[in-house]
Chains A and B, each alone.
Chain A
Amino acid sequence: MEAGMVTPAPALVRFSGIQKTYDGEHLVVKNLDLDIRKGEFITLLGPSGSGKTTTLMMLAGFEVPTQGEIYLAERPIKNMPPHKRDIGMVFQNYALFPHLTIEENVAFPLSVRKVSKAETQARVKAALRMIKMEALAQRRPGQLSGGQQQRVALARALVFNPQLVLMDEPLGALDKRLREQMQLEIKQLHETMGITVVYVTHDQSEALTMSDRIAVFNDGIVQQIDRPDALYEHPVNSFVANFVGENNVLAGTVETIDRDLCRVALAAGGSVMARAVNVSGAGASTSLSVRPERIAIIPDGSSSDGPNRLPAKVQNTIYLGDHALAVLDVAGNAEFMVKLQPGAHDSLRHGSLRPGENVFITFRPEDCLALDPV
């Protein structure tokens, strides 16, 4: 919702030509250049082993880049020990100190900074009020639920007003409902306090919910950095298209390119018009990407004015409450998903989409992206 008003603020963190290897043989992070703006909520999203956590650890100071430099507020910090960086961090397993009470945990960053007793007390109290846990101040971490521990970890990372807050899959250990609630709380804290957050997750819906910008990592490389909506609507390659959101893939070969549109011959026969996003030219093989909600099913194959019309065979239908999915066999892809709009439930109920039935699908050329082959 804030996506439109992200103004170019000065970069708070700058990764410049960062490389990292653990074994001296292959790079976990390959040539990372990344700017993080002040006040921004940026998410590093990617599958495990993609280098996102390593990037975060280098920023926190627990790993040293093999090459390159990291700047925090214009200062190089590659060789600065973690405790001098003034970066708050929330860990996946909370890492609350088990021998200290909640209050002592939250007071810890202040006491190591030799903040006066009175001020410490006031700030700890304010932090605990912020996470609505004043009543549990004297408890030990072991006596709290996962969600409560996560809130305390958050308060502890924020209480000393760090320049930057890092979160390493902080909600991974929580159940779904609690996770969604915490996502909103963290987002709210970010907005009210104006803090800069670098958030690591492998959960794309979490990234879409919370972030101002998302950096999609794969194989040690940032594939795309963009606002959530841009990432979803305009993925630059097949990996991003497949990783962010649901996606249907059809393999084919480019026949002709006309400005940003191209005609693609499908491997299984037939051809469609698609937006040329990441194709080198005529004759190149490509991988088409169509979102399930951008496809319509025409049961009888009649009345279609668009150029893209493909025969399909119904495999299955899945009822999901607020919507339903039809699994089709389209041009050799037997797991082609089509999202059925609420009105279309009727056709399910009336049995017009029975397994084995032959139908047609149609989608607009601008909703079909021609990307690099997978």
Chain B
Amino acid sequence: MTATSLTGANASTEVPLKRRLRRAERTRQVKALALVLPLLVFLLFTFAGPIAGMLWRAVDDREVRQALPQTVMALANWEGKDLPDEKAYAAVANDILAARASGTIAIAAKRLNYALNGFRTILTSTARNLKAVPEPGTARETLGKINPAWRERTTWTTIKDAGGPVTGFYLLAALDLTRNVDGAIVAASPDQAIYREIFGRTFLISLSVTVLCLILGFPVAYLLATLPPGRSNLLMIFVLLPFWTSLLVRTCAWIVLLQSKGVVNDSLHWLGIIDEPLRLIYNRFGVCVAMTHVLLPFMILPLYSSMKAISPAYMRAAASLGAPPLTAFLRIYLPQTLPGIGAGSLLVFILALGYYITPALVGGAADQMISYFIALYTTETANWGLASALGAVLLLATILLALVYGKLVQGQQVTGGMKN
């Protein structure tokens, strides 16, 4: 057999071999898929779906378009330089009458009021005073007489901006930005610009809690990983104990402990250390203490698992090679716990970002985190757009953080040298 015919035979058998392999693997893949399918469906409906819905609501803007369809259409080609023409006035008069009849006017009024304070009054007064469709050519005059705001350019740009179907309005608002009358993005007025500060506060509290958890959790995790099994199991039970009680109960326990007539203050007073009760709760201190307590296990467990994997032989080797205990710890032990530190910190930080109950119960007005406002807009004021936009910004920030972490971990990839 010649060389060419040999390679030819190889080439002709190679493809069927690959295909056979695929066919052989297919059953296994189908089985694997069947095993994860229920969870996948569950996640799709309870996780991916709602998130997609939230992201959509952050840009969705169809209330005005539905209530005032003719106006939105009439303004479609309006440049926004001057007041719109008579056609737009006639359209808005028609729309208002129709919306009043169908009861959709309040929805449009609410949406327009977000963008321009007082718009609700403009719409309701117009709806109340507009008796019938104005004669052709008199719409501008009629409306201007009912409410002078119809002679303002801002009124019309507000309607045009809110015409949808999608808008950046909520996302801009979540970042303390807005569009001015000429459509340029500018900083929001100081009385509305609160979200950046709240985001900053949220990140600051989360960061403080993460650092506190790391400082408190590291020694505990070390003990857990190095104590003999009997005692480390006992310690592990103490670490996991918080999971056995509800978050609400633990937070309320902190109120009992930290309030001005609480256990801590009474003890300090009894010991003569303080005369006046310290303010330990309904401030930043109380929030950080309670959140650290709740989130501590999430730091300890990843730290523990990374420390458990570090063989005591490494520290012995370092000592035998001449490293004093501190040097051995800093140069040999600590670097090997970095993946655990990273995982624990990321977990605690991301969980802390979304914290709601604890700051709401033990924090003051200046300690409320972003989730408090998201809850406020969804449950109290039903401003779904803004709530979704705040959520979307938070989600984006979290994803960015996770990506940064991923990059860091990749650079610090540790492969095991021990063969056990």
Give chain A's interface residues, CB within 8 Å of chain B: 60-62, 81-89, 91, 93-99, 108-109, 112-113, 140-143, 146, 149, 156-157, 160, 166, 173
Nearest chain B CB to A60 CB, angstrom units: 6
Complex CA gap A109/B331 in Å reads: 12
Query: Which residues in chain B, 405-420, are within 8 Å of chain A measured between CB atoms?
Result: 412, 414-420
- Does B324 sit within 8 A of A, measured CB to CB? yes
Complex CA gap A95/B324 in Å reads: 17
A142 — nearest CB in chain B belongs to which residue? B415
Complex CA gap A85/B171 in Å reads: 65
Complex CA gap A109/B332 in Å reads: 12
- Does B311 sit within 8 A of A, measured CB to CB? yes
Contacts of A97 in B (CB 8 A): 314, 317-318, 332, 336, 417
Residue in A83, A94, A142 with the greatest tally of chain B CB atoms within 10 Å: A83
Which of B313, B321, B414, B416 is A112 in contact with, Cβ under 8 Å? B321
Q: A83-B324, A112-B327, A173-B419 are in contact. Are A98 and B319 (CB under 8 A)?
A: no
Beyond the given pairs A97-B314, A112-B324, A112-B327, 13 more chain A to chain B contacts, judged by CB atoms under 8 angstroms and listed by A's residue number, are: A60-B320, A82-B319, A82-B320, A83-B325, A95-B316, A97-B318, A97-B332, A98-B415, A98-B418, A112-B331, A141-B415, A157-B321, A160-B322
- Asked if A83 and B417 sit within 8 Å, CB to CB, the answer is no
Residue in B321, B323, B328, B336 with the greatest tally of chain A CB atoms within 10 Å: B321
- Asked if A83 and B419 sit within 8 Å, CB to CB, the answer is no
- Asked if A94 and B316 sit within 8 Å, CB to CB, the answer is no
B420 — nearest CB in chain A belongs to which residue? A93
B313 — nearest CB in chain A belongs to which residue? A95
Complex CA gap A65/B289 in Å reads: 46
Nearest chain B CB to A238 CB, angstrom units: 36
A166 — nearest CB in chain B belongs to which residue? B320
Task: State how many residues of chain B have any CB contact under 8 Å with chain A.
Answer: 27
Nearest chain B CB to A237 CB, angstrom units: 34
Complex CA gap A84/B328 in Å reads: 13
Contacts of A91 in B (CB 8 A): 313, 316-317
Nearest chain B CB to A139 CB, angstrom units: 10
- Asked if A146 and B313 sit within 8 Å, CB to CB, the answer is no
Give chain B's interface residues, CB within 8 Å of chain A: 311, 313-314, 316-325, 327-328, 331-332, 335-336, 412, 414-420
- Asked if A98 and B414 sit within 8 Å, CB to CB, the answer is yes
Complex CA gap A81/B320 in Å reads: 9
Q: A83-B324, A99-B335, A112-B327 are in contact. Are A93 and B419 (CB under 8 A)?
A: yes
Complex CA gap A108/B335 in Å reads: 14
B323 — nearest CB in chain A belongs to which residue? A112
Nearest chain B CB to A199 CB, angstrom units: 15
- Asked if A86 and B322 sit within 8 Å, CB to CB, the answer is yes
Nearest chain B CB to A261 CB, angstrom units: 50
Nearest chain B CB to A253 CB, angstrom units: 50
B317 — nearest CB in chain A belongs to which residue? A95
- Asked if A98 and B316 sit within 8 Å, CB to CB, the answer is no
A109 — nearest CB in chain B belongs to which residue? B321
Complex CA gap A88/B322 in Å reads: 9
- Asked if B417 and A142 sit within 8 Å, CB to CB, the answer is yes
* 20 CB-based A-B contacts, threshold 8 Å: A60-B320, A83-B320, A83-B321, A86-B322, A93-B313, A93-B419, A95-B313, A96-B417, A97-B317, A97-B318, A98-B418, A108-B321, A109-B321, A109-B323, A112-B321, A140-B415, A140-B417, A156-B321, A157-B320, A160-B321
Contacts of B416 in A (CB 8 A): 98, 142
Nearest chain B CB to A281 CB, angstrom units: 49
Residue in A98, A149, A157, A160 with the greatest tally of chain B CB atoms within 10 Å: A98
A156 — nearest CB in chain B belongs to which residue? B321
Contacts of A84 in B (CB 8 A): 322
Contacts of A86 in B (CB 8 A): 322
Contacts of A87 in B (CB 8 A): 320
Complex CA gap A82/B323 in Å reads: 9
Complex CA gap A278/B376 in Å reads: 93
Residue in B311, B313, B322, B332 with the greatest tally of chain A CB atoms within 10 Å: B322
Contacts of A62 in B (CB 8 A): 316, 319
A81 — nearest CB in chain B belongs to which residue? B319
Contacts of B327 in A (CB 8 A): 112
Complex CA gap A91/B266 in Å reads: 56
Complex CA gap A2/B111 in Å reads: 98
Nearest chain B CB to A86 CB, angstrom units: 7
Nearest chain A CB to B124 CB, angstrom units: 69
B320 — nearest CB in chain A belongs to which residue? A89
B415 — nearest CB in chain A belongs to which residue? A142
Contacts of B331 in A (CB 8 A): 108, 112
Complex CA gap A61/B412 in Å reads: 32
Q: A93-B313, A98-B414, A142-B415 are in contact. Are A108 and B320 (CB under 8 A)?
A: no
Complex CA gap A142/B414 in Å reads: 9
Which of A61, A89, A94 is B417 in contact with, Cβ under 8 Å? A94
Contacts of B321 in A (CB 8 A): 83, 88-89, 108-109, 112, 156-157, 160
Contacts of B324 in A (CB 8 A): 81, 83, 112
Nearest chain A CB to B42 CB, angstrom units: 37
Nearest chain B CB to A154 CB, angstrom units: 13
A153 — nearest CB in chain B belongs to which residue? B317
Complex CA gap A143/B317 in Å reads: 20
Nearest chain A CB to B292 CB, angstrom units: 29
Which of A89, A94, A160 is B418 in contact with, Cβ under 8 Å? A94
A91 — nearest CB in chain B belongs to which residue? B313
Complex CA gap A173/B420 in Å reads: 9
Nearest chain A CB to B316 CB, angstrom units: 6
B338 — nearest CB in chain A belongs to which residue? A99
- Asked if A99 and B414 sit within 8 Å, CB to CB, the answer is yes
Q: A61-B319, A113-B322 are in contact. Are A98 and B417 (CB under 8 A)?
A: yes
Contacts of A82 in B (CB 8 A): 316, 319-320
Nearest chain B CB to A22 CB, angstrom units: 12
Residue in B325, B412, B417 with the greatest tally of chain A CB atoms within 10 Å: B417
Complex CA gap A175/B163 in Å reads: 77
Contacts of A99 in B (CB 8 A): 335-336, 412, 414
Q: A97-B417, A98-B416, A98-B418 are in contact. Are A112 and B322 (CB under 8 A)?
A: yes
- Asked if B323 and A83 sit within 8 Å, CB to CB, the answer is yes
Contacts of A109 in B (CB 8 A): 321-323
Complex CA gap A160/B322 in Å reads: 9
Complex CA gap A98/B412 in Å reads: 11
Complex CA gap A141/B314 in Å reads: 13
